[in-house]
């Protein structure tokens, strides 16, 4: 699958696939990485070390801080892949690099239909750069 590389980097991990709009704000517990949002279809799953897929971001503009707190505590996805660009993921990832030295690639432009072909938990490789991004299952 090809996408747009919003934040550069390479990562590999098990796929965690949400088909609904997603938010870290009040939606992921930063101290565990567990998805807590009552409206999420992956509630109860853990984002830690996973390649996290969701179609769009939603909700509070503080999602970037919630994401960054999960990075600070070590409970963060190794890469984020979305359909529409999620600014909270982009900003959280840029700050993660500058403040904590962690590289978390962020990719957009991979549709829900495309990533739904990946089996949940399958190993996924993400390579993101200014030239473009590749997501391989």
Partner 1 sequence: MHLDASQEKLLRGEGGEARRFAMEIVTRVGDAVGASSLVPVKSAHVLAHYSSLHDAGVDVLERFASSGGKFAVPTSVDPASIDLQNWRSFGISEDYARQQFRLCDAYAKLGGMRCWTCVQYQVCNFPKQGETVAWAESSAVVFANSILGCRSNKITAGMDVACAVLGLTPKFGMLEDENRRAKVAFKLSAGSLSDVDYRSLGFYIGRKAGARVPVLEGLPASVTSDEIKHLGAAAAAAGPVTMIHLPGITPGSNTSSAATGGERVEEFDVSRSDLSDVEEDLNQTHELPDLVAFGVPHLSVSELGLLSNQLEGRRVKKGVRMYLYTSGQAYEMAERTGIAGAIEASGARLTHSTDAEISPLKQLGFRVVMTNSAKLAEIVSSEGEIKMRYASQEAIIEEVTG
List 18, 40, 60, 93, catalytic entry:
60
CB of 6 or CB of 15, closer to partner 1: 6
Asked if 60 is an active-site residue, the reply is yes
Q: How far is the CB of 111 from partner 1 (least distance, A)?
A: 16
CB of 113 or CB of 130, closer to partner 1: 130
Q: Contact at 8 Å (CB) between 33 and 7?
A: no
Site for partner 1, rule CB under 8 A: 4, 6-7, 25-27, 30, 36-39, 58-66, 68-69, 71-72, 85, 87-88, 90-92, 94-95, 98-99, 108
Residues 6+ apart with CB under 8 A from 38: none
CB of 28 or CB of 118, closer to partner 1: 28
Per DSSP, 59 falls in state S
Q: How far is the CB of 31 from partner 1 (least distance, A)?
A: 10
Number of H helices, E strands in the chain: 3, 7
- Calculate the alpha carbon distances from 78 to 38, 59, 64, 70, 115 in Å: 23, 22, 15, 11, 17
Residues labelled catalytic: 60
């Amino acid at each position: 699958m090809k996408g747009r590389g919003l934040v550069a980097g390479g990562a590999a991990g098990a796929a965690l696939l949400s088909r609904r709009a997603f938010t870290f704000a009040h939606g992921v517990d930063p101290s565990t990485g567990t998805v807590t949002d009552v409206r999420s279809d992956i509630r109860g799953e853990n984002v830690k070390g996973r390649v996290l897929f969701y179609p769009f971001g939603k909700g509070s503009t503080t999602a970037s801080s919630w994401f960054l707190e999960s990075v600070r505590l070590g409970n963060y996805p190794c890469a984020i892949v979305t359909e529409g660009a999620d600014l909270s993921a982009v900003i959280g990832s840029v700050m993660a690099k500058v403040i904590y030295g962690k590289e978390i690639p962020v990719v957009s432009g991979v549709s829900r239909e495309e990533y739904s072909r990946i089996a949940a938990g399958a190993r996924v490789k993400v390579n993101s750069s200014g030239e473009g991004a590749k997501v391989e299952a």
